[in-house]
C-alpha cells in the first residue's frame, strides 16, 4: 500500500497524546471522587459494570480516529476491479493455411469453436467486434453487444490467400478508434475515399501514451502462420502500443507445422512464435500457444476473465473513512448500552 499524501501520516503522532489524555482524565475523576464519604455505596450501586468494559468505547474511538487520520494521507493499493465498459476486437486469421488439420478438426474450425466459447464467458456489457485477415483485412462485424451477430460473422469465414498480420492489427485499431483517422489504404486493399470539398476532416494531433494504459479496449490476435504480405506486424504493434492498446496474441497450430495442399500447390505451414511474442511484449500483453483445440478453448476462456477485470492502483481512503465511522458508531452504541450515556 502507498500514500498519495504521506506527510499526513505524521498526524498519527497525536494518538499517544490522546492515550495520555485519557489516562489523565481517569486519574482526575478518581481524585474528584475521593471527597465523597459514600464512595463504597456508589461503587456498590454501579455493580460489576465498572471494569474492563469502561475502556472499550474509548479504545474503539481511538481506532476510529486512527483510521480517519490514515484516510487523510490518501492510501492507495493495487486491487482487482471490474471494468465499467470495454470493447474487444477479435482479429482472426482466415488465410489458406488455416485448413491444416494438425489441430482437429482443422485450425479454422477449432478457432471458430473457441471464439464462440470465448463469447459465452463474456458479460453482456462488453462489446465485441470481429476483424478477419488474409491477404487484406476486413471488419466483418463492427463492435456490438449482440452475441448472435458476432457468432454469425465467425461462421461466415471464407479462406483466402496470403497472411497480412499487420493489416489485421491496424484495422482492429481502426475499429476501436473509428474517429482517429487511421490510414487504411494499405490494409483493406482499397484507397480511402476522398472527402467532399469543404468537408475535409481536421487532422487530429496524436500524442503517444504509455503502452498498455488503454483500459477500455483490447485486441485478441489469433493466427497460425507467418506474415507473407501487408504492413510489418511489429510496426503495426507499435501503433497499438502508442495508443495504449494491448494485443494478446494466440498462436494456433503445432510447432512442427503441417503440409497442406491449396490450388495445386503443397506447402508446409509453420507458426512464427517469435513475432507473436514480440507483438505481445511491445503492447504489454501476453502470448499464448495453442497446440490443440482444447488448449485453444482454455486460452479463450482464460482471456475472457482477463478482459473484464483489471488490476490497478486505486485510492482507498474512502474505506478507511468508512471504517472510522463504523468504529465511532460502535463505540457510541456500546457506551449507551453499558453506561446509559454516549462516552
pLDDT score recorded for residue 23: 79
The whole-number pLDDT of residue 76 equals 83
User: Is the bond into 105 cis (omega within 30 degrees of 0)?
Assistant: yes
- pLDDT tens column, 111-158: 898 888 888 878 788 889 999 999 899 999 999 999 999 999 999 998
Q: Which parts of the chain have pLDDT scores under 70?
A: 29-51, 80-85, 186, 188-205, 257-268, 301, 305-313, 339-343
pTM above 0.75, yes or no: no
Report which DSSP code applies to 95. B
**Cell numbers found for residue 133:** 485477415
Q: What does the pLDDT read at residue 266?
A: 66
pLDDT of residue 47: 47
- Give yes or no for a contact between 260 and 267, defined as CB atoms under 8 angstroms apart: yes
Domains and CATH numbers, the chain: 10-75+316-339 (no CATH), 81-190+206-314 (3.40.50.410)
Q: What is the pLDDT of residue 195?
A: 47
CB 216 within 8 A of CB 83: yes
Question: Could you give the count of Cα atoms lying within 13 Å of 162 in the half-sphere of its Cβ?
Answer: 14
For residue range 155-190, list pLDDT tens digits in order: 999 888 888 999 999 999 999 998 888 878 767 654
Amino acid at each position: 500500500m502507498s500514500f498519495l499524501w504521506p506527510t499526513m501520516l505524521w498526524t498519527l503522532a497525536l494518538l499517544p497524546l490522546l492515550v495520555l489524555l485519557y489516562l489523565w482524565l481517569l486519574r482526575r475523576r478518581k481524585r474528584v471522587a475521593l471527597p465523597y464519604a459514600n464512595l463504597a455505596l456508589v461503587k456498590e450501586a454501579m455493580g460489576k459494570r465498572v471494569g474492563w468494559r469502561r475502556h472499550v468505547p474509548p479504545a474503539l474511538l481511538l481506532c476510529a480516529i486512527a483510521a480517519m487520520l490514515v484516510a487523510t494521507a490518501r492510501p492507495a493499493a493495487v486491487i482487482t476491479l471490474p471494468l465499467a465498459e470495454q470493447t474487444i476486437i477479435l482479429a482472426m486469421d482466415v488465410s489458406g493455411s488455416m485448413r491444416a488439420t494438425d489441430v482437429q478438426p482443422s485450425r479454422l474450425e477449432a478457432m471458430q469453436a473457441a471464439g464462440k466459447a470465448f463469447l459465452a464467458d463474456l458479460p453482456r456489457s462488453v462489446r465485441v467486434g470481429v476483424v478477419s485477415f488474409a491477404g487484406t483485412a476486413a471488419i466483418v462485424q463492427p463492435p456490438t453487444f449482440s452475441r448472435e451477430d458476432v457468432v454469425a460473422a465467425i461462421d461466415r469465414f471464407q479462406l483466402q490467400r496470403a497472411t497480412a498480420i499487420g493489416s489485421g492489427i491496424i484495422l482492429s485499431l481502426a475499429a476501436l478508434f473509428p474517429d482517429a483517422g487511421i490510414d487504411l489504404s494499405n490494409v483493406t486493399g482499397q484507397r480511402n475515399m476522398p472527402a467532399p470539398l469543404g468537408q475535409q476532416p481536421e487532422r487530429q494531433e496524436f500524442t503517444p501514451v504509455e503502452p498498455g494504459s488503454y483500459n477500455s479496449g483490447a485486441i485478441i490476435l489469433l493466427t497460425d502462420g507467418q506474415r507473407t504480405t501487408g504492413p510489418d506486424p511489429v510496426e503495426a504493434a507499435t501503433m497499438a502500443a502508442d495508443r495504449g492498446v494491448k494485443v494478446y496474441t494466440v498462436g494456433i497450430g503445432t510447432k512442427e507445422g503441417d503440409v497442406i495442399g491449396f490450388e495445386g500447390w503443397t506447402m508446409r505451414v509453420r507458426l512464427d512464435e517469435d513475432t507473436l511474442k514480440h507483438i505481445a511484449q511491445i503492447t504489454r500483453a501476453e502470448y499464448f500457444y495453442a497446440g490443440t483445440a482444447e488448449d485453444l478453448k482454455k486460452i479463450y476462456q482464460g482471456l475472457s476473465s482477463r478482459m473484464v477485470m483489471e488490476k490497478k492502483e486505486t485510492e482507498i481512503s474512502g474505506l478507511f473513512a468508512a471504517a472510522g465511522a463504523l468504529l465511532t458508531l460502535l463505540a457510541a452504541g456500546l457506551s449507551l448500552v453499558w453506561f446509559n450515556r454516549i462516552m
